[in-house]
Chain A
Amino acid sequence: MSLTRFFVAAILTVALAATAGCGRREEPPTLRLALETEPTTLDPAYAVDYSSGLITSLIHANLVRYDPDGRIIPDLARSWDISADGTLYTFHLAGSRFSNGKALSAADVVFTFRRLIDPEIRSPRWWVLEPVAGAAAVRRGGEWGGLGIEAADDSTVCIRLERPTAHFLSLVSMPAAGIVTAGEISARGEDYGRMPCGSGPWMLSAWGDGDQLLLVRNPYFEGAAPVLDGISLRIIPEPMTRIAEFEVGNLDILEVPRAELDRWRSAGVTLMHEEELRVVYIGLNNERPLFSDIRVRRALNRAIDVETIIARVLFGAGRRARGVIPPGLRRTRVPDERYPYDPEGARKLLAEAGYPDGFEMELWQRENPEGGRVLESIQGYLAAVGIRAAIVTREWSAFKKAVEHGAADAFYLDWFADYPDPENFLAPLFHSANRGGGGNRTGYSDAAVDSLITAAGLCRDEGTRWELLAAAEEKIYHDAPWIFLWFPTRYELVSPRLKGYRMPVIFNGQRYLKVAI
């Protein structure tokens, strides 16, 4: 064969093969979603990342859960009673079944919760049940005898708390508290994370490794069955590739990267948006002498024109943070603006604090292109008041280690809600008991804030609780342990073939039951 003939043949073969599979098959009505990362495990006790939590909570049901608006609604428990002193919760279970057909009883709930606390299990999420009487003692290796979790009968679970905990229902709605069954856990062993069995609306049908997960309807699901037959979750790490897949009609819902917003805003497609329950901030290491001076921390807040960064770098997809409670969770007044953009004022504050010529600092971030652009602009604003900030970029694991060990002067980070309650933005991030891994990575410690947050946790009256949390927030905003940046807005493109979809305020608030094609 001559070279030319060989090439013509090669090209033709490839072209033929390429077009051969073009005829589209009829597929059953399936919701097609994309994930950026592959879930690590679907075992509720170990699911800590976004993908894992999301899918775990589609497969496992909880005692109670959130609706798309962020309200607590019944799930496995058709109702519940809370004692007058707020320490005894009695859950009345509706009859439900696991996806293997087994009936769910109170014993399964007790098993699940005991497993989560069990020191041998080493669940990083055991703290979800920390308010339960005796739980902390068990976790520390103490006696099981004092644990306040028991099954009164087959369909009643009683949980006694150590102290009143206003957000306890929020805690048991988290993916970690998804109910599992003892039989499957012991049968699957370490492989349970890839072969989960829950009582939620969906069950795992296939996990094509690294490629996609396929969920189908749980045939034993007792509630209103999902309209669709299944959900495919494709793992596509690249944002641009996800967009391409959406453009050719292979995906039904897509989170739009902010840099792409302008293009899609004018494209005449359904672009939904929702203010995320998330705050973006620069944490200042309050234990460093430099940032122990409140004047320096306030100067940094005044030095940066956050509104302009939101408009230019985030393409408008965010709201300036005055305080730490996202707009979606706010029932009280927004604190008055304390830190308007004021470079002159910032310079004056720095001079008062003894830094008339500014200082040098390190600003840490984890690897992330948008973060890079944000920090470069912040670097510019800081330079204008004489602060020479060096940006230090590390990948997540190294970043986290440095921040947790107080090795970073300041760090750019965000906090996602575990559950839609302002408590989740105050207690982990600012209570001095949560310093380090608990969420308070700045080392901020204020007795008044601690006692306000603690009091709010014990408070039985919702209105008063909100006021207490707002007071804690006001004090934090005043003390400026962070550079307060913004609350981001999430944008999603929705395929025209999809009906009945609503963006949830919390990631596990949408179970796609009413979504139709």
Chain B
Amino acid sequence: MLLRFVIKRILLLVPILFGVITVTFLLMYIVPGDPVLTMVGERYDQQTLEEIRHDLGLDKPLIIQYIDYIGRVARFDFGRSFITRRPVAETIRERFPRTLLLAFSAMCLAVVFGIGIGAIAAWGRMPWLGRSLMTFSLIGVSIPVFWLGLLLIYLFAIQLSILPPSGYGGGSLRYLILPALTLSFASMATIARVTRAGFLDVACEQFVRTARAKGLSERAVLGKHMFRNALIPVITIVGTDFGSYLSGSVLTESIFGWPGLGRFIVQAILKRDFPVIQGSVLFMAILFVFVNLVVDVSYGLIDPRVRLQGGRE
């Protein structure tokens, strides 16, 4: 049943990706701007401009360009960047792992601390702690990433001098902490709030009362019975957020000079570097769809009721 579900979802990928390709392609031509203008710089002659445009096939009718593009995609040929002349696939291969590293670390931080904060806040033994943690998470949801990033740089790099302000540092942990923390913050706060709500919800459920009634220790009630059930909404958040971690890491990557895919795509968009935009957006779309698929499957693993419904479809 699960296998059929997965296959069905993978087949659904085809129309989705086709849509993504078409929309990206059209958007690039609707939005004003011209990649050739970036390539020729500040002072140029019309002849060179037109020759380059011709070389790149930008002077062909839109529909021909579209068919050419579909043809290349079908052959998994993302082409070379107009501006840097580097193969797009090579750059994605180089940069994506860095964004993934950042996103994954941020997600881990968000999950670990978010669930922890939420659980403690729901616990109710220390109401003042719960309240201050929830205030903290309210700030976390509302704080702009940009400001938070600069604040963390100021605190940890300039005042305390224990972490480097920016850079990639070959992927070393010291360089990863501040950007990962910055990126995780908003989602950590959301997870904390949802976890708390989840715990409070399940606390009123009958199985919890039953567990307590049969004399289980508070730790067992919390850890074994409540935890798993309060977790369902958290997984949804993590799943949907992970996509936005990948695409939303742009600001964080800029602040911390992190050479990831997000910044690369934004640069490409600003310069109208069509092959890069097309290749990266397509790559991100495939990834996004897959992450969602994994999330859906993992529901089933955690909550058998979802699995059953999935099977009946």
Which of A70-78, A257-265, A393-401, A449-457 forms contacts with chain B?
A393-401
Q: Say yes or no: is A122 at the interface (Cβ < 8 Å to chain B).
A: yes
* B48/A48 in contact, CB under 8 A: no
Is B153 touching A2 in the complex (CB atoms < 8 A)? no
A22 near B162 (CB under 8 angstroms)? Answer: yes
Q: Which residue of B lies closest to A194 (CB)?
A: B86
Contacts of B270 in A (CB 8 A): 395-397
Interface residues of A in 1-37 (CB under 8 A from B): 2-3, 6-7, 10, 14, 17-22, 37
Contact A3:B119 (CB < 8 A) given known A124-B41, A397-B272: yes
Query: What residues on B are CB-neighbors of A354 within 8 Å?
Result: none
Contact B271 A397 (CB under 8 A): yes
- The residues of B that contact A40 with a CB separation of less than 8 Å are 83-84
Asked if A244 meets B157 with Cβ closer than 8 Å, knowing A18-B162, A396-B38, the reply is yes
Given the known inter-chain contacts A3-B119, A21-B174, A41-B85, please indicate yes or no for A395 contacting B33, CB distance below 8 A: yes
Q: Are B32 and A211 in contact (CB under 8 A)?
A: no
Q: Which residues of A contact B33 (CB under 8 A)?
A: 394-395, 397-398, 401
How many chain-B residues does the 8 Å CB contact rule pick out?
66
Q: Which of B31, B41, B45, B166 contacts A48 (CB 8 A)?
A: B41
Q: Determine the residue in chain A with the shortest Cβ distance to B80.
A: A190
- Asked if B25 lies at the interface with its beta carbon under 8 angstroms from chain A, I say no
- Stretch of A155-163, A234-242, A320-328 lying at the B interface: A234-242
Least CB distance from B70 to A in Å reads: 24
Task: Tell whether A437 is near chain B: CB-to-CB under 8 Å.
Answer: yes
A247 adjacent to chain B (CB < 8 Å): yes
B230 vs chain A, min Cβ distance (A): 13
Q: Which residues in B have their C-beta under 8 angstroms from that of A125?
A: 41
Check A190–B34 contact: CB distance below 8 A: no
Given contacts A21-B172, A396-B38, contact A238 B162 (CB under 8 A): no
User: Are B42 and A248 in contact (CB-based, < 8 A)?
Assistant: no
Q: Is A353 an interface residue (CB 8 A)?
A: no
Query: How distant is the Cα of A193 from the Cα of B272 in the complex, in angstroms?
Result: 20
- Residues of chain A lying within 8 A (CB to CB) of residue B85: 41, 46, 190-191, 193
Beyond A250-B164, A397-B33, whether A241 also contacts B153 by CB under 8 A is yes
Pick from A7, A209, A238, A400: contact of B37, CB below 8 A. A400
Establish whether residues A209 and B94, one from each chain, have CB atoms under 8 Å apart when the complex forms.
yes
A122-B48, A210-B264 known; A245+B165 contact, CB < 8 A:
yes
Q: Mark B29-53, 1 if CB is under 8 A from A, else 0.
A: 0011111011111111111110110
Contact A438 B45 (CB under 8 A): yes
User: Which of the listed residues B38, B42, B51, B112 has the most CB atoms from chain A within 10 Å of its own CB?
Assistant: B42
Q: A297 near B: Cβ within 8 Å?
A: no
| B32–A394 touching, CB < 8 Å | yes
Chain B, Cβ-Cβ closest to A437: B44
Instruction: Decide if A237 touches B257 in the complex (CB within 8 Å).
Output: yes
| Bound: A188/B168 CA distance, A | 28
The residue of chain B having its C-beta at the shortest distance from the C-beta of A125 within the complex is B41
Contacts of A438 in B (CB 8 A): 43-45
Whether A49 is near chain B, meaning CB under 8 Å from some CB there, is yes
Specify the chain B residue showing the minimal Cβ separation from A13. B173
Cα–Cα distance between A363 and B55 once the two chains are bound (Å): 34
Pick from A6, A48, A190: contact of B39, CB under 8 Å? A48
Instruction: For A123, list chain B residues within 8 Å (CB).
Output: 48
Contact with B along A433-446 (1 / 0, CB 8 A): 01011110000000
Contact of B49 among A209, A248, A437 (CB under 8 A): A437
Chain B residues closer than 8 Å to A241, beta-carbon distance: 150, 153, 165-166, 255-257
Interface string of B256-281 (1 = CB under 8 A from A): 11011001100100111000000000
Residue on B with the closest CB to A130? Answer: B45
Contact of A404 among B37, B153, B272 (CB under 8 A): B37
Chain A residues with CB below 8 A from B45, complex form: 127, 437-438
The chain A residue with its CB closest to the CB of B82 is A40
* B91 interface hit (Cβ, 8 Å): yes
B4 at the interface (CB under 8 A from A): no
- Asked whether, in the complex, the Cβ of A18 is within 8 Å of the Cβ of B174, the reply is yes
CB distance from A401 to the nearest CB of B (A): 5
Task: Collect the chain B residues with CB atoms within 8 Å of residue A139's CB.
Answer: 47
Task: Given the known inter-chain contacts A119-B51, A211-B259, please indicate yes or no for A3 contacting B116, CB distance below 8 A.
Answer: yes
- Which residues of the other chain, A, contact B154 by a CB distance below 8 angstroms? 244
Min distance, Cβ A244 to any Cβ of chain B, angstroms: 4
Q: Chain B: which residue is nearest A401 at the CB level? A: B34
Is there an interface contact between B157 and A248, defined as CB atoms closer than 8 Å?
A: yes
On chain A, the residues within 8 Å of B37 by CB distance are: 397, 400-401, 404
Report if A428 contacts B (CB, 8 A). Answer: yes
- Answer yes or no: A268 CB below 8 A from chain B CBs: no
B158 at the interface (CB under 8 A from A): yes
**Complex alpha-carbon distance, A418 and B43, angstroms:** 10
Structural contact, B259 and A209, CB atoms closer than 8 A: yes
In the complex the two chains form, what is the Cα distance from A40 to B40 in whole Å? 12
Interface check B197, CB cutoff 8 A:
no
What is the CA–CA distance of A324 and B164 in the complex, to the nearest angstrom? Answer: 43
Contacts of A384 in B (CB 8 A): none
What would 14 more interface pairs be, CB under 8 Å, given A397-B33, A397-B271? Answer: A10-B112, A18-B174, A41-B85, A46-B85, A48-B41, A119-B51, A212-B167, A236-B166, A237-B257, A238-B166, A241-B165, A244-B165, A245-B166, A248-B164
Q: List 20 A-B contacts (CB under 8 A).
A: A7-B112, A14-B177, A22-B162, A41-B83, A48-B39, A127-B43, A208-B170, A208-B259, A209-B95, A210-B95, A210-B259, A237-B257, A238-B255, A240-B153, A244-B157, A245-B165, A248-B161, A250-B164, A397-B35, A415-B42
Chain A contacts to B: CB under 8 angstroms: 2-3, 6-7, 10, 14, 17-22, 37-38, 40-41, 46, 48-49, 119, 122-127, 139-140, 190-191, 193-194, 208-212, 234-238, 240-241, 244-245, 247-248, 250, 394-398, 400-402, 404, 415-416, 418, 428, 434, 436-439
Interface residue ranges, B against A (CB under 8 Å): 31-35, 37-49, 51-52, 55, 80, 83-86, 91, 94-95, 112-113, 116, 119-120, 150, 153-154, 157-158, 161-168, 170, 172-174, 177, 219, 223, 254-257, 259-260, 263-264, 267, 270-272
